[in-house]
Structure 1
């Protein structure tokens, strides 16, 4: 068994910086969980029209409804087996903004054909996106989202491009500072940039068999549909 990122990327996974290889090898096979702690230099939004959508999404820990600079940040990548028997890795991001922390939750599983990652968003996994990771020439990792789907009860529909968005995540490792660098942009094809953040963090690794999955990290509801 290999990590979900190595499975999807194949030999290209070895082109990543060694620190990225370790971070994205987190899984049941490695037995490691990874916690990143750092500071986001900037958390930003697009035009004022996006605020109601961000506020709505925040009720289910999808995106972040506030902006800020020099925002303390934590990301928790913890592997576990979900209620449908699939290996899952959490990507739970907490932004310590003034007032109260805000979370952006995602849980990633391997797609049925092993050629993509399924990214389930929020506390109830009502939104799902296909993710396609690539190794860049400088050893960084680029992840682009593909099709988005909305699931609620019997509803299972593709999100139209007009109201959907494309996410692009770039993660690299800075050998001079011994820190990971991350830049995230969420863009609508028609309306332009909607949301993003950028900054740096350090990572620590723990034995998942010893520490387990802390309460509140897993979603309230787990979606079975791929």
Structure 2
């Protein structure tokens, strides 16, 4: 990944074109709630990290340890095996260079379940399609979702998955609907509590909801 005249992008450089969210939204970004805009803008420089800490009112998967059956195919840090209420969590969002894929936003979500923490990792990458992002999920990044970015009437950011692929080395295999998932994430803001909010649901057409979480958080930039 380069910038003008072949200079390599380095930590501390400004992010060309803004965060992946702002690039995907384009002019629509002006409709975002001011506090949501601050969050999705990220740290603004390569290598910067936004740390999020809060509590989910509910989080996890009702399928529990059955999710482990998918791990040989999708890798670790994708499915969680608990479903609890009042779950503390921490998220680290880091702007990083993703080799040939260009600049991406790497995220690690840590669910502080009572028996012990579990992780969900992913990276968001620009898409050649306007208004979309590529979302590679799990530590192995074998699953890629195409996310449509939009702004709700309340000024919140909505991410909705439309298509999914299985990545196996050089192979990129489109997944049929029954073997795929539909995800929706809404990042908002509670004006009364003065806190950012998040609500996410991942559904399979056969199994129903396989992952969900919703809660509120505060943030800081490192």
TM-score normalised to the size of structure 2? 0.84
The 4+ residue runs of structure 1 with deviation greater than 6 A are none
Match of 2:12 in 1: none
How far is 1:64 from its partner?
Answer: 1.3
The number of equivalent residue pairs is 204
Instruction: Report the CA distance shift for 1:29/1:112 in structure 2 as closer, same or farther (over 3 A).
Output: farther
Tell whether the 8 Å contact from 1:41 to 1:198 is kept in structure 2 after alignment. yes
Match of 1:123 in 2: 139
Match runs of 1:49-64 below 5 Å = 51-53=65-67, 56-57=70-71, 60-64=76-80
Match of 1:196 in 2: 212
Match runs of 1:69-84 below 5 Å = 69-84=85-100
Residue number among 84, 87, 90 corresponding to 1:68 in the alignment: 84
Instruction: Report the CA distance shift for 1:42/1:82 in structure 2 as closer, same or farther (over 3 A).
Output: same
How far is 1:114 from its partner?
Answer: 4.8
Match of 1:11 in 2: 27
How far is 1:51 from its partner?
Answer: 4.5
Match of 1:159 in 2: 175
How far is 1:82 from its partner?
Answer: 1.6
Instruction: Report the CA distance shift for 1:184/1:54 in structure 2 as closer, same or farther (over 3 A).
Output: farther
Match runs of 1:1-226 below 5 Å = 1-26=17-42, 29=45, 32-46=48-62, 48=63, 51-53=65-67, 56-57=70-71, 60-84=76-100, 86-206=102-222
**Superposed CA offset, 1:148-197 (max 9, x none):** 10012344211111121100111111122121111111112233222201
Structure 1 gap segments, 5+ residues each: 207-226
Instruction: Report the CA distance shift for 1:56/1:188 in structure 2 as closer, same or farther (over 3 A).
Output: closer
Tell whether the 8 Å contact from 1:55 to 1:65 is kept in structure 2 after alignment. no
Separation in structure 1 between the aligned mates of residue 116 and residue 69 of structure 2, nearest angstrom = 14
How far is 1:62 from its partner?
Answer: 0.5
Instruction: Report the CA distance shift for 1:55/1:176 in structure 2 as closer, same or farther (over 3 A).
Output: farther
How far is 1:83 from its partner?
Answer: 2.2
Separation in structure 1 between the aligned mates of residue 45 and residue 139 of structure 2, nearest angstrom = 26
Pick which of 95-104 and 79-88 moved more. 79-88
How far is 1:31 from its partner?
Answer: 7.1
Separation in structure 1 between the aligned mates of residue 175 and residue 214 of structure 2, nearest angstrom = 26
